[in-house]
Amino acid sequence: MAEKRVGSLMNREKKIPSVDDQVEIDRNLRQNNVISKPLYQKDEYTASDRKTLKVDPPVYDLVKSINQIEGGKIYKKVEEIVQFYIENKMTDRDRRIVRNISKRD
């Protein structure tokens, strides 16, 4: 009886899937303003809400130097750098993953 089951699995018809309807989807997310949405809610945080970000001393010196030239707060400069990286260096799939992860936190 077990032999019939194995044999019936091997002799079944192979079905080839077909696509009945095709839809044209615009994959350019920059035009759809998906990328331009902020990564997180822009709230005002207190100093005690902010987290420590540990980086190597040369990286910190570079961020500090850039910030001294342009002015402002270092945490705002890091925010701009992260936003630039997400918009220009990540794939669309990676952006969606980062946004979904940041929404859960």
pLDDT digits (tens, 9 = 90+) for 1-45: 555 555 566 666 777 777 776 767 666 655 544 445 556 666 678
Q: What is the pTM of this model?
A: 0.55
**Under a CB-based contact definition with an 8 Å cutoff, are residues 80 and 67 in contact?**
no
- Greater confidence, 74 or 40? 74
Residue 79 lies in a domain: yes
Distance CA 56, CA 54 (A): 7
Largest CA distance in the chain: 81
Instruction: Answer whether residue 57 is part of any domain.
Output: no
Residue 51, burial from CB neighbour count under 10 angstroms (0-12, 13-18, 19+): exposed
What range does the domain containing 105 cover? Answer: 72-105
What percent of the chain is modeled with pLDDT above 90? 15
The number of folded domains in the chain is 1
Whether 5 maps to a domain, the answer reads no
What pLDDT sits at residue 41?
A: 62
| CA dist., res. 67 & res. 61, Å (int) | 10
Does residue 92 belong to any structural domain of this protein? yes
Place of tokens 């945080």: 45
The DSSP element (H or E) to which 13 belongs, if any, is none
Domain annotation covers residue 95 = yes
17 in any annotated domain: no
- For residue 78, is it within any domain? yes
Of the candidates 95, 104, 101, the one whose C-alpha atom is nearest the C-alpha of residue 34 is: 95
